Amino acid sequence: MQNIIITIENKKYEAILYDNSTTKELIKKFPITITMSDLNGNEKYYNFSKSFSTSSENVANINKGDIMLFGDNCLVIFYKSFSTRYRYTKLGYIKNLEDLENSLGKGDIEITFILK
């Protein structure tokens, strides 16, 4: 597992990335600042131009703070919990969820990822 810091509008969130081939590829891009777009009022996403290796599974339930990959290039951070039939590659989760929905829940937003 790898500890990272996610910065959203000057607010820092600690996160844990799982130890898998996808996260190892993602970490090579850190530090990175990306503009993530809103989808369905419950998640932020960003499409990388490069594909990642994947190990997708039917996750059934999404938890607030989950960090996942949809398909082979779409990074997703969820700010609400809900059930789903979609398949994702699990990447990790945000530890401190306080105010996460307020930080993420408004249009496109610039987010920075760094190793801790």
DSSP characters over 47-114: E-SS------EE--EE-TTEEEEETTTEEEEESS-EE---EEEEEEEES--TTHHHHHSSSSEEEEEE
CATH code: domain 2-115 is 2.40.100.20
What is the block-wise mean pLDDT of the chain (116 residues), using blocks of 10 residues?
94 97 97 97 96 96 98 98 97 94 90 97
Please state the pTM of the whole predicted model.
0.95
pLDDT in tens, 86-105: 999 999 999 999 899 999 97
pLDDT at 50: 93
| Residue 9: predicted pLDDT | 87
